[in-house]
Structure 1
């Protein structure tokens, strides 16, 4: 049979301790738990993702930059043409003489209407009589002047259209630049959140990953079988090993991925378009089993990242912000396709 005795009430001293403890707890500020800081591996993963996310807008930036340059050149040529046409009109006016020039300034109104609008009918009639005596050559010149005037107006309109399009491209360029810089700022903030010790660990992990991927330093030299233009391309690429990646750059001190591939083939006398997507579209598709040194490799998709195949299952590429031009296995990133310029 169980005991039914009442529990012994707490002593006065015990009650005093409990009351004091409760009072102390109630005085502590109530706050949520601080979010745990990401680990080195988490930061490394997030930074890599941000750099990867920056690659697509980088290529869009490159395309917008090329479009802006093209439009500015076209607008410049149109403006030069405007100046040339205007000078031609001025010369023709002088050659036509004052009476024919006056006829041109009248704008080709019907004679009866010009008489109605004239402030001095007698003066108008005098001019009309003189104009009737214009030579056939002057009439031809007058007709030519009107034709040139129309051409000038059209050229001016085309120049303004090009300038407007160039300004739109500039705004698009600024938007892409901000998008890229936003990704890079976020990556830097993550890296800056690490302690000095964590940064040292991260650096060691990056170096270990590079060694595992088979990347090389600027001291490497090519000794493969490539010849002709392909050999020129690969020798150029080996000379760039160790130079930094920089988005939007085409050399000679830094490169982004398509800037490097374009510069390498340019060294061999072949002009390639600026962006990854354009280079992919311009080249001849090559099966992975038929790869030859000098072929351009595309990872992820047709518009994100590329490099140049050097043989033995490896390629040279400009990887991303914070890293240098390096040799990497094709399998280091998801292989997509290859083209031959």
Structure 2
């Protein structure tokens, strides 16, 4: 006859022991996982983040360049106005002193009624001559007074202009500092991301190469003799820009040994005797428009990139531009259509 006895249940003590052992095993597993080597970050994801941060950094750098250019202009203007105010104040003081001297002399000479002085005078001819001089003195006093009022008006206007310029300078300086802080913040963020990678991968991202060191963008030093000839001062600008190949990128720099993108253009064209504005956005408005099709470009043309026009390179022919890419890279060439073209300008 089959047994119907219930299976024996584990004692409560045994259950407690098993549960404690399981918990210990889970805890040990967690500790091992916590002390295990961190997973290698995905290089492509890091590269995408760094590229975005460096693009934002360059946008902030061009804003900094514009603010610095404006601040420099305002500094010069404020100095000139303050010099004018100082000179005006000196002229005002001189006119006031002259007016005081004339008034004092008239008071001393005019204490007696003119007709009585004539009657009492032993020498009427001498008195009449002196009276004529007093009349001229009164005229001089009136002229001096008018000049004094006009000088005061000019001085007040100059003071107002100087105050307005100094107030704008304060605002421009704040914009300058904000842009500088933004640049540094973006660079710190990018460096934090890069520090997650190996040195080789880090350099590959910054220099635009793959892990094997092959250039992902055209970056080999270009021999100018292999390029089509440029015309006029553009030829000098192209030669100077190409001479800077290998020089480090540095935001806010316009040479002679480090450059940002717009600074390289300013430097190269300055050597050709052509003055360019400091930012890529301003450079996108000078010269003659060639449209946005690079096939119409000639050596020396400025190629402005992105919708907000925060990057610029110089077309050198053979479908290439020379440019200063971003922090961690150097002045080099790339294919002209690597980045989205906004406009092309011919100087």
Determine if the TM-score, normalized by the shorter chain, exceeds 0.5.
yes
State the match for 1:144 in structure 2. 147
State the match for 1:201 in structure 2. 201
Deviations 1:219-238 (A, max 9, x none): 74443222321210111011
State the match for 1:180 in structure 2. 183
> Which of 295, 306, 316 is the matching residue for 1:310?
316
Total equivalences in the alignment: 313
> Which of 224, 231, 234 is the matching residue for 2:235?
231
Q: Deviation of residue 186 (structure 1)?
A: 0.7
Deviations 1:175-199 (A, max 9, x none): 11111110001111122233xxx22
Matches of 2:40 and 2:51, distance apart in 1? 18
Deviations 1:82-139 (A, max 9, x none): 1111222222233334354899xxxxxxxxxxxxxxxxxxx9x97xx9xx96521221
State the match for 1:279 in structure 2. 283
Q: Deviation of residue 27 (structure 1)?
A: 7.1
Matches of 2:298 and 2:104, distance apart in 1? 70
**Structure 1 residue 95 and structure 2 residue 98: aligned?**
yes
> Which of 268, 274, 295 is the matching residue for 2:272?
268
Superposed counterparts of 1:309-328, under 5 Å: 309-328=315-334
**Structure 1 residue 47 and structure 2 residue 53: aligned?**
no
Going from structure 1 to structure 2, the CA distance change for 1:169 and 1:16 (only over 3 Å counts) comes to closer
State the match for 2:18 in structure 1. 18
Deviations 1:235-268 (A, max 9, x none): 1011100111111111111111111111111111
**Structure 1 residue 333 and structure 2 residue 339: aligned?**
yes
Task: Report the 3-state secondary structure (helix = DSSP H, G, I; strand = E; otherwise coil) of the residue aligned with 1:282.
Answer: coil
Q: Deviation of residue 293 (structure 1)?
A: 0.4
CA contact (8 A) 2:62 2:279 kept: yes
State the match for 2:128 in structure 1. none
Task: Report the 3-state secondary structure (helix = DSSP H, G, I; strand = E; otherwise coil) of the residue aligned with 1:216.
Answer: coil
Superposed counterparts of 1:107-126, under 5 Å: none
Going from structure 1 to structure 2, the CA distance change for 1:269 and 1:302 (only over 3 Å counts) comes to farther
TM-score, length-normalised on structure 1? 0.80
> Which of 223, 242, 251 is the matching residue for 2:246?
242
> Which of 254, 261, 271 is the matching residue for 2:258?
254
Task: Report the 3-state secondary structure (helix = DSSP H, G, I; strand = E; otherwise coil) of the residue aligned with 1:310.
Answer: strand
User: Which region of structure 1 is more displaced relative to structure 2, 308-317 or 157-166?
Assistant: 157-166
Gaps of 5+ in 2: 115-133
Gaps of 5+ in 1: 104-122
User: Which region of structure 1 is more displaced relative to structure 2, 141-150 or 328-337?
Assistant: 328-337
Q: After the TM superposition, list the runs of 4 or more consecutive aligned residues in structure 1 that deviate by more than 6 angstroms.
A: 11-14, 26-31
Select the structure of larger CA radius of gyration: 2
State the match for 2:83 in structure 1. 80
Matches of 1:248 and 1:325, distance apart in 2? 14
Going from structure 1 to structure 2, the CA distance change for 1:101 and 1:57 (only over 3 Å counts) comes to farther
State the match for 1:113 in structure 2. none
Q: Deviation of residue 26 (structure 1)?
A: 8.4
**Structure 1 residue 63 and structure 2 residue 66: aligned?**
yes
Question: CA RMSD for the aligned pairs?
Answer: 3.4
Going from structure 1 to structure 2, the CA distance change for 1:25 and 1:141 (only over 3 Å counts) comes to same
